[in-house]
Amino acid sequence: MPPLFTGVGVALVTLFDDDGRLDAAATADLAVQLTGLGMRSVLVAGTTGEAMSLSADERSALIGAVRAAIPADVPVLAGTGAPTGAQAADLTTRAYDAGADAALVLSPPAVADPRRYYDRVAQAAGDRPLLAYHFPFAASPGIPVEVLPDLPVTGLKDSSGDAGRLLDELEVFDRDIYVGATTVLTMGGAVGATGAILVLANAEPERCIAAFEGDGKAQVELAAPHRASMVGFPAGIKNLVAERFGVSSVARIGA
């Protein structure tokens, strides 16, 4: 099976107006600009997109707006992780119905063995692309490496930034692997990761692409904006995107 995509994708911020209302049209316009700058996928309603603050209808509106706006050959991924398999399965079904090409499912919090959870979500996904998501900062403990081969998924996003774990994943998991941490971009490209799905690509798409393609200088140059993007997350990245593209910096989380 060919990869869902190769190269660098963006974990898209969600834009809100001054009153905190969803601005799906502005978010879709930002996605258009980023795909024009080389992004090979767009993740909607992920951790960076403040998914926990979005209603089901808002998620669907975002997915539909972005899918309608960007080129057909650029897949739209939807974040559909939840505390339970039933909730994640429902969000996954809704995401596909709204136009998503694939679902990215964060592992459940406080679950050491998420196999049953992913089995439940995979039933909802059917034969459509489904990525597991390891990000212990957001949902501890994440996905044990030894469990990965048993998961009914087509790929994995790993935002841990753990270089040793990435090597272990490449050793045991023969499906798509996407790095989610800016700090291991150049390494990821060099050792054979399928691609990357990145927060910082909202503000630094060109240098993210260069770093993944092996440009060590670009990797070093990303260090300062990476630090800035993490300050008061998601405020830091939203401020960087506002400076670059002139969009709203309003965030729901932390407000």
In one-letter notation, the amino acid at residue 225 is P
Distance CA 150, CA 82 (A): 20
Domain spans, the chain: 7-245
Question: What would the pLDDT profile of 145-161 be if each residue is shown by its tens digit?
Answer: 999 999 999 999 999 99
What local confidence, expressed as pLDDT, does residue 254 receive?
A: 82
pLDDT of residue 123 exceeding 90: yes
Q: Apex CA 177: angle with CA 222 and CA 122, to 5°?
A: 130
Q: What is the pLDDT confidence band of residue 250, given thresholds at 50, 70 and 90?
A: very high
Q: Is 250 helix (H, G, I), strand (E, B) or coil?
A: coil
Contact 208, 226 (CB under 8 A): no
pLDDT of residue 255 exceeding 80: no
* Percentage of the chain lying above the pLDDT 70 cut: 100
Q: What is the pLDDT confidence band of residue 1, given thresholds at 50, 70 and 90?
A: confident
- Which CATH class, in words, describes the domain spanning 7-245? alpha beta
Q: Is 241 helix (H, G, I), strand (E, B) or coil?
A: helix
Token pair of 188 as six digits: 């990821």
| Neighbour tally for 217: CB within 10 Å | 11
118 is catalytic: no
Instruction: Kindly report the pTM of this predicted structure.
Output: 0.97
96 is catalytic: no
DSSP for 9-28, please give it.
EEEPPPPB-TTS-B-HHHHH
In degrees and rounded to multiples of 5, residue 145 shows phi and psi of -55, -40
Q: Which of 117, 133, 178, 238 is catalytic?
A: 133
Q: State the average pLDDT over residues 112-117.
A: 97
Contact 11, 241 (CB under 8 A): no
Write out the H or E segment, with its range, that includes residue 152: none
Q: Which of 96, 117, 157, 238 is catalytic?
A: 157
Q: State the average pLDDT over residues 28-34.
A: 98
Q: What is the pLDDT confidence band of residue 86, given thresholds at 50, 70 and 90?
A: very high
